[in-house]
Amino acid sequence: MDKIFFIGIIIGVLSRIIMLNLDEKQYPAQPNVLVSQIVLAFVASSLGALLVPALLERSYTSITFLSLAAEQFRQVRNNRRDTLQSLESTQLVSRGNSFIEDIARTYEIRNYMCIVTSFLTVALYHALNSEFKVKDPTALIVSSLFGLILAYILRRSISRQCIGDIAEISIVDVSFVDTSILKVGDFQGLTNVALKEDREKYLKYAVGIKIMPRDNSYKNASIIAYVGQRQAICYNLYSRLGILKQIVEPAFTPLPRKNPKNQCLYLAFFPIEKDERKIIEAVKSCPILDSARGKNIALNNMKIEGKEIV
């Protein structure tokens, strides 16, 4: 049982490392955060691997350690939330409370995945070895492969949709009407830019972005229109492309606005590198927040024109 215990830990940690790649794409993190997640994965995997021998020995009181672990991981979630919220004032483009809560929840759930992976890996080994009389080397190999496959399946199952799955993104022109009213694409009234030098900078450096709900679906439009999701899109652009903006330049803060006629979202952004392909990819890669998903079932069967989706 000693060998499978360590294999269970290794499989659990590997499952977290596999998910770290997913986290880095959806929630860009710093190296110290990654190290802390690997350490927590080791703790979670150890608990999952120890659970099977504890149950075999009928040491049911050891299950109480799972409740302690759950409380610890919940505290990790709270700490992550508090850390990100404390950094909001230092961001040129803020994440927003909805995005922060989504990130904190993700950090908690990933640790539970480690427990599940290591527990089922060790449990399968015991079942093969004791119930089906499979020899030790074969049982180790089969359970290890099962653990890796399970880690991959869990990674796929918890991969969230991105904006690119529900919307079409295009680059549009930035201009002004009535001297100072910002117009992005065919939508005017995004904001009022009073200073002439600010308007000149918009015309020279800003990129207009149009986000159109796919399939003219009200369901997709409601996700894009959610305030927290809009802010997450802006932060995703900022974290991947940077922004030509100083703290003392509030006029250049991205302000997504919805056109009520077609439910499209428009914004003007100041990327450091004016590469249209990268801008579109940055918008598409923004994860859809759990809180952005509407609860109105009627929206699932409605088009923006008011007709049912065929």
* This prediction's pTM: 0.88
Residue 234 CB neighbours (<10 A): 24
- Tell me which H or E stretch contains 279: helix 276-284
Separation of alpha carbons 230 and 267, rounded Å: 10
**Checking phi first, is residue 187 left (phi over 0); if not, alpha (psi -120 to 50) or beta?**
beta
Please report, for the chain, the start and end positions of each structural domain, with discontinuous segments joined by +. Answer: 3-159, 164-301
* pLDDT tens-place string over residues 279-295: 999 999 999 999 998 66
- What local confidence, expressed as pLDDT, does residue 308 receive? 41
Separation of alpha carbons 248 and 195, rounded Å: 14
For the record, the structure tokens of 164 come out as 């690119």
* pLDDT tens-place string over residues 241-292: 999 998 888 899 999 999 998 999 999 999 999 999 999 999 999 999 999 9
One-letter-per-residue 3-state SS of 194-220: CCHHHHHHHHHHCEEEEEEEHHHEHHH
Percentage of the chain surpassing pLDDT 90?
A: 60
Low-confidence winner among 23-27, 102-106, 138-142, 274-278 (lowest mean pLDDT): 23-27
Nearest to 8 by CA among 54, 62, 52, 39: 52
Q: Is 175 helix (H, G, I), strand (E, B) or coil?
A: strand
- Whether 209 and 286 have beta carbons less than 8 Å apart is answered as no
- Whether 8 and 151 have beta carbons less than 8 Å apart is answered as no
- Whether 236 and 98 have beta carbons less than 8 Å apart is answered as no
272-277 — which CB contacts under 8 Å span 24+ positions?
272/241, 272/242, 272/243, 272/244, 273/241, 273/242, 274/205, 274/207, 276/171, 276/207
